Structure 1
Amino acid sequence: MVRGSHGAGYINTDVTLTLSRLPLGYELGLRSDGAVASGGISIGTATLYDRVGPLGTCVVTTRSNARLPIDFTAD
């Protein structure tokens, strides 16, 4: 989910996580590799790391939520 000053602008519709090995330990790092967007659909890619080095990738697909933003400041 992508949050902005007016709430959630995009809602995650799909996440694909691919690992080449199991992570060592409980800490994971994430480096954004890029994103593309068109027609209300956004796709982002990232590389996952542990203390040893890269171990996988993640692809996230999101859909624009411009008409019905979620307000996280309301009770």
Structure 2
Amino acid sequence: MIIIDLTPFRCPLPLVKVKLALKQLSSGDSINVVLSDPGSRQDVPRYLKKIGLSHTVQEDTTSILSIIVTK
């Protein structure tokens, strides 16, 4: 599984990087996305829901959101 650590980046860059990573995934593949920016922690899951991709929260603390996205 590919891990994309986007904790150093601030909105909107994490969302852009997630969109680019999703384009490279084949159907059935998964990635682990790690976010820290408060805006991105809301925007990325909202975007995934909007485009119909399932995701599972792996870790959700005050500083980190880690989600598994399956295409």
After TM superposition, the score normalised by the length of structure 2 is: 0.27
User: Which has a greater percent of strand?
Assistant: 1
Larger-Rg structure? 1
User: Which has a greater percent of helix?
Assistant: 2
